[in-house]
Structure 1
Amino acid sequence: MRKSIAAAACSAFVVAALTATASFAVELPKNDYPTSARADYVFACMQTNGQNRIVLEKCSCSIDTIASLLPYDEYEAAETIMSVRQKGGESVAMFNSFPPFLEKVKNLKRAQVEAELRCF
């Protein structure tokens, strides 16, 4: 009988611990870009502007500024649209003329201009 009580107490403790852990899972802010997205941006920025410490700091500042102005889901959508546009042809014509897509790209470009002014 003591083993049953001990097993039940242990089970209750595990459930309580898992519940407590789950309560710490907080939704990330909208501008919390994944590290890989920030790294990709900085890498491409450094390829374009030079590969030294000063440029690393400026490129890091740039993606941080963009992240402060544009939620990640909007950034990702605009990057995807611009990537599809590069393929060219009739199949991507919608990405060059559909107003909601144009607006997403404009918002990203505005954020990039602001980042350029603040960081470079």
Structure 2
Amino acid sequence: MFALCLIAAGDARAEDGYPTAARVDYVLGCMAANGQSQEAMRKCSCSVDEIAARFPYDKYVAVETARVMQDAPGERASLVRGAAWIKDLQEEFRQIQVAADLKCF
């Protein structure tokens, strides 16, 4: 029964649509950049909450997918690097992330 609860918890989503796993992934990456402390965890958690309140999850997935694709070698990755709509989406995310960090850090 406990294992079933863990499986169900892994797919949990907040009202804003961000699954728990996406939030944890963001916080872990943020902590890697800002320190592995309790304070950094609180600040990074605040940051992802602010982002989730202003940036829909489907757009977040697109930004993360583009980031991974841009780092990949090859012709397909170059198509992603040159797409204007991706650059616009990344800029929108960056501005929201900066605002969230200013509020939380």
> What TM-score results when the alignment is normalised by the length of structure 1?
0.71
Which letter maps to 2:69? V
Which letter maps to 1:64? D
CA shift digits 1:15-40 (9 cap, x unpaired):
xxxxxxxxxxxxx8873200000000
In structure 2, do the counterparts of structure 1 residues 39 and 29 end up closer, same or farther at CA, with 3 Å as the change threshold? closer
2:28 aligned residue: 43
The runs of at least 4 consecutive aligned structure 1 residues that moved more than 6 Å come to none
1:19 aligned residue: none
Q: Compare 62-71 and 28-37 and name the one that shifted more.
A: 28-37
Does 1:33 find its partner at 2:22?
no
- Quick one: percent identity of the two aligned structures? 39
2:73 aligned residue: 88
Q: How does 1:1-40 map to 2 (within 5 A)?
A: 31-40=16-25
Instruction: Tell me by how many angstroms 1:90 deviates.
Output: 2.9
Which letter maps to 2:31? M
SS in 2 for 1:33: coil
2:82 aligned residue: 97
For structure 1, list consecutive stretches of 5 or more residues without a partner in the other structure. 1-27
Which has the larger Rg? Answer: 1
Distance in structure 1 (CA, Å) of the matches to 2:73 and 2:16: 30
1:73 aligned residue: 58
Q: Compare 71-80 and 29-38 and name the one that shifted more.
A: 29-38
CA shift digits 1:60-83 (9 cap, x unpaired):
000001001100000111110011
Which letter maps to 1:110? Q
> What TM-score results when the alignment is normalised by the length of structure 2?
0.80
In structure 2, do the counterparts of structure 1 residues 47 and 94 end up closer, same or farther at CA, with 3 Å as the change threshold? same
In structure 2, do the counterparts of structure 1 residues 29 and 61 end up closer, same or farther at CA, with 3 Å as the change threshold? closer
